[in-house]
Amino acid sequence: MGDDGECSAAVYFFGNCHEFRAKGIPSGSAKNNQKSGICSNFGLNFRMKISIFTYNLIKMKKIILVVLVFGIMFACKKKKNEEEPETPPVTSTPTNPPAPVLPINIPADADGVLMASESEHEFGNGYKTRVGKANAFFYTSPGNYNYVDAGTVTCKDSVLPKVSGTYYFAGTLKNGQPNCGINFATGSTWTVSGTSSVPAFTFSTATFPSVGALTSSTLISKSSPYVATYTGAANADSVVIMLTGDSVAVQKKTVLASSGSCTWTAAEISAVKKKVSGLFPQLHIISYSITGNTVTTNKYYIVNSNTSTYRINTY
């Protein structure tokens, strides 16, 4: 209440003070007191209404803000779905690897191959030794060359280590020793312990193919046919003769062991490279026998092979 008898009420608008006065009412009178009460009530009611208005305004702002946020989120999600359609998951299909590369043709119904082989190795000093090796392949099924475990595989008295799904034993090379590795003089004997994928079995052969010895010239013209002749190859069913000059130009033919010869055309000979970087082309004679062994419903082929190698010159 001011000194001039005016009734005043302080009203707060958003933090600003506004004063209203009732003029002509003396200070301290009953009428003044009555007016003072009215003035007080007016100020209180006015402040309450302003407070409610302010609260509703703030609440309205919050609601508008929430609606805007959800609207933006929905618009972004819709745009992302339109721009980036979901890609269906890719289902990988197991691939069938190629058949193992062997110089000998294996029948298509094979569930596995067990091969005992003897070949020649030449040391740097020119000494040559015969090396007995063994390897085995067990397939998921005929034509499916995904390898399966066969347990412990033994050839003669040597256990074959498992390497990349296959079994292989190479022996130890010894310079000055005529024979290294497994001795196949009396044939081969295989023992397979078996697993859930491969049945257990044992198989033996009493004989082993002898070396096929080349009797034709090692000097070969690239512009003329060539007849390779050989002797030996006892205890063998067939003979594979290969001419190799590099990893690509390989010429291979299979003949009956009893034929004693193999003929090459001039075109086949011309595909064999000449001496490159000190390496001469070679002629390989592989005499072998192959026997099918059926165990339950699976069929495994037992191969015995003996290889002789000759350095040739082409011109």
What's the confidence (pLDDT) of residue 87? Answer: 65
What's the confidence (pLDDT) of residue 46? Answer: 47
- pLDDT reading at 85 higher than 50: yes
What CA–CA distance (Å, rounded) separates 16 from 14? Answer: 6
What's the confidence (pLDDT) of residue 20? Answer: 40
Single-letter residue type at 34: Q
Of 156, 212, 160, 158, residue with least CA distance to 185: 156
Which residue ranges make up each domain of the chain? 7-83, 112-314
Range in 39-43, 49-53, 130-134, 160-164 the model is least confident about:
39-43
What CA–CA distance (Å, rounded) separates 221 from 226? Answer: 8
Pairing of strands 219-220, 162-163: unpaired
What CA–CA distance (Å, rounded) separates 195 from 148? Answer: 9
Going by C-beta distance under 8 Å and a sequence separation of 6 or more, which residues neighbour residue 10? 17, 18, 19, 43
What CA–CA distance (Å, rounded) separates 57 from 51? Answer: 10
What's the confidence (pLDDT) of residue 275? Answer: 64
Q: What confidence tens digit (pLDDT) does each residue in 198-237 have?
A: 999 999 999 999 999 999 999 999 899 999 999 999 999 9
Higher pLDDT, 4 or 58: 58
Average pLDDT value for residue range 64-71: 52
What's the confidence (pLDDT) of residue 270? Answer: 86
What's the confidence (pLDDT) of residue 188? Answer: 96
Q: What are phi and psi of 191, to 5 degrees?
A: -130, 125
What CA–CA distance (Å, rounded) separates 160 from 166? Answer: 9
What CA–CA distance (Å, rounded) separates 201 from 300? Answer: 10
Highest mean pLDDT among 17-31, 64-78, 235-249, 289-303: 289-303
User: Do residues 131 and 173 lie in contact, with contact meaning Cβ atoms separated by under 8 Å?
Assistant: yes
314, β-bridge pairs = 220
Average pLDDT value for residue range 247-275: 85
Higher pLDDT, 263 or 270: 263
DSSP class of residue 208 equals: -
Tell me the CA end-to-end span of the chain in Å, nearest whole number: 132
What's the confidence (pLDDT) of residue 112? Answer: 97
CB atoms within 10 A of CB 166: 17
Average pLDDT value for residue range 232-250: 85
Token look-up 């009555």 returns 34
- pLDDT reading at 23 higher than 60: no
Q: What confidence tens digit (pLDDT) does each residue in 42-61 have?
A: 454 545 555 555 555 555 65
What's the confidence (pLDDT) of residue 58? Answer: 59
Of 49, 53, 54, 25, residue with least CA distance to 39: 25
User: Do residues 245 and 281 lie in contact, with contact meaning Cβ atoms separated by under 8 Å?
Assistant: yes
Q: What confidence tens digit (pLDDT) does each residue in 285-311 have?
A: 999 999 999 999 999 999 999 999 999
Task: State whether residue 50 is helix, strand or coil.
Answer: helix
Confidence of residue 27 (pLDDT cuts 50, 70, 90): very low
What's the confidence (pLDDT) of residue 52? Answer: 57
Within the chain, what is the greatest distance between any pair of CA atoms?
151
